[in-house]
A and B are shown apart, each in its own frame.
Chain A
């Protein structure tokens, strides 16, 4: 009995030896919501961190005049040093475990490999790999300075924007550190990540639209949203969205457009010919659509529907072919064909790796689009042809 008491007293004294480990009270930490990395003069890097500012106490009205965040800008030779000088300005140690967004400035992305720039976020234990990455037009820190519309912080707004636009609109391709790293470290080394820019008409709005193309980690250009849409369709990444078609009828109606919602979309890529002097791929895109808005076609009879469906297929095929042409002109294999070749035939890939861009530019593509009209909005829930 006594021995037990003494043993437990001695063991509980061990508790005080732990040095409290990594304990820190919540008010001692500054929680970083987003980061913007830019090129500063003299080969330095400017890091702007957006840190959440808690409202003081529960009294009302304490928050209204101030923003929920504070932007700290530090300029140093490397990101790690810049991070260490945040407490100089803020008074709290930065906590990186809840960061949601990293914006890299255009200039920095063009000159340095993005993986080198973001190496801290890959190696450190605190930030997660699910942080969204995007390239910002011009300077990156201006995007953190804009007031958010609904959310607490702009970082949250941008990150959610990228996610939602990618899933529900198809106008950009969402990427986080993990997927970007996988893309850049693959055999092909090409990545497509979201692009953010300021609205030219209204300086208070920021838009996430289009995608940035990264080759070997460096920014080489931007894709228009329309092209990104087709790209997502070709790579089987398209989830949901609405597409517009021009009216298929006479020329006087060419200004009107009709809309269809794509419910599901699947695409399969198959190599047909893989030889030294010619490459040919076949891409089949199958989709189920629902009609949303009609301006000049009618879908009352079976023939009408078939006509509508085939015009839709024709237009989509044109769009996809246009996109591929554009990509081939840029010599940028965004479809991941190099990776496919590496997976199926590594010896061939090793031979062709050096001049793959040229080969990609000369590749022929056969595109087949199949549209299934699922819903016309009728009360019986089925289109006429069923």
Chain B
């Protein structure tokens, strides 16, 4: 007999007392899902009581799926005698009252919950005559080992990279920050993927306004299909079309832990190892975790190097175009003669030559990412040969242009954050166009426009140019120089939360 259905807002049908009803319903829901198997069981005196277990065969650990037997064993050892004497009443009274059992069974109240649990990797067992079901957690997917992160290698420091499983990642983080102030909030998204999303922060250090803003934005996207952290980034960021990223990414747990201590919110998504750090400010995009593991003088000098690399990566081709076509009087004579020598006989104007060479370099870079490993080294040699030597010998490109393009490429690799380096590639081309039309004046205008955009940009409500824009002298310790750790850490401990 069916219990009268309780009216719930989203109308989840309850589990029927009759086994065949349940079985039919589950089979209807999982129609044509050939990896969801239904296995009927019989138990009890004379084997006349029925049950069935349903689970996803493909990602449940093989050795554990016989949970039915395990549940019976629980009953046998705790409550009743030999296995043949178990009755449904025993089952109901034992499991329904949540008596301690060996395999941590969970009670399932309705069909939707049962469907969810099967999809999450549980083994769900329905008993005839009982309007609840049992679920045993049995996920056994293959996951990657914890290895060094490929995109963020470092010379000195921990090499623990994140894996795809969110529980393991959270475990690694919890192991680094052993404090009850380290809060982890899980967000269950809807959508087809129903991915688990978690965001973490340090209570007392994070800015409450930022946290509220973040929560508001996450609530807005709860029903979206989230596949990766970058989906979240695009859905909650302030400016989608800006070339500058407003959030940082990392695949290393020590970087994530450090950013948590600095008062940031980090977001993890099940199924991917990228951790998103919000808010991300411009000055942080030029910092790398290695700065804090090396000595202070070296780190400061390397930061200067990165600033220069930033300028070179964005503007070197544009400066070359501007100087060689508009302002030749500014180049020293001997250098100018060398440039003239190399540019004689080249069929293209400087602009087109620069754009073509940059384009080839970008092609080379894209090709290099997608190479299968056996072909990898061959293509890099071919690329160097084609773009470099042959083009020069054929008279299509000048040696000075090849030098400039390679310097630009190398400089862009010196920037620690990958998504920031990509954005610089976008900015390079409009700068070249401006330089071709208006010389140095054009470059100045383009830089002004970029700064205007940066000054307007906000990351989770905070101004993007935070330490430079609203100039905060106290934070200058960590922007262009890296002050000794004594000075840096002391201030973190002293500040509780601060409106930054």
Contact = CB atoms under 8 A, between A and B. Distances in A.
A15 B344 contact: no
Nearest to B436: A23
Contacts of A58: 342, 392-393, 399
Contact of B344 (A16, A22, A54, A95): A54
Contacts of A21: 326, 438-439
B481 interface: no
A26 B340 contact: yes
Interface stretch (B206-214, B221-229, B329-337): B329-337
Contacts of B340: 26-27, 31, 52, 54
A78 interface: no
Nearest to B442: A15
Contact of A31 (B336, B433, B438): B336
Contact of A15 (B346, B350, B434): B434
Contacts of A31: 328, 336-337, 340
A22 B326 contact: yes
A16 B339 contact: no
Nearest to A4: B241
A309 interface: no
Contacts of A18: 437-438
B341 A24 contact: no
- Counting chain A residues whose Cβ lies within 8 A of the other chain, the interface size class is 20 to 34
A382 B324 CA distance: 54
Contact of A57 (B339, B345, B436): B345
Interface string A44-83: 0000000010111110000000000000000000000000
Chain A interface SS verdict (over half): loop
B328 A97 contact: yes
A355 interface: no
B395 interface: yes
Contacts of B346: 27
Contacts of A152: 337
Contact of B343 (A16, A27, A52, A97): A27
Contacts of B272: none
B349 interface: yes
Contact of B328 (A16, A26, A54, A100): A26
Nearest to B438: A18
Interface residues of B, number: 29
Contacts of A116: none
A29 interface: yes
A289 to B, nearest CB: 36
A18 B442 CA distance: 11
B406 interface: no
A323 B433 CA distance: 63
B329 A97 contact: yes
Contacts of A57: 344-345, 395
Contact of B341 (A20, A55, A126): A55
A26 B335 CA distance: 13
Given A58-B399, A97-B329, A25 B342 contact: no
B326 A98 contact: no
Interface string A149-164: 0001000000000000
B333 A98 contact: yes
A27 B325 contact: no
Given A52-B337, A55-B344, A25 B350 contact: yes
A98 B339 contact: no
Contact of A20 (B328, B342, B437): B437
Interface in B301-335: 324-326, 328-329, 333
A26 B438 contact: no
B439 A26 contact: no
A163 to B, nearest CB: 14
B437 to A, nearest CB: 5
A25 B399 CA distance: 16
A98 B339 CA distance: 14
Contacts of A27: 340, 343-346
A56 B398 CA distance: 11
8 contacts: A23-B439, A25-B325, A26-B325, A31-B336, A54-B344, A57-B345, A58-B393, A152-B337
Given A55-B344, A58-B399, 13 more contacts: A15-B438, A21-B439, A23-B326, A27-B343, A31-B328, A31-B340, A54-B337, A54-B340, A54-B344, A57-B344, A57-B345, A97-B328, A100-B333
Closest 7 CB pairs of A and B: A97-B329, A54-B344, A54-B340, A15-B437, A23-B325, A54-B341, A98-B333
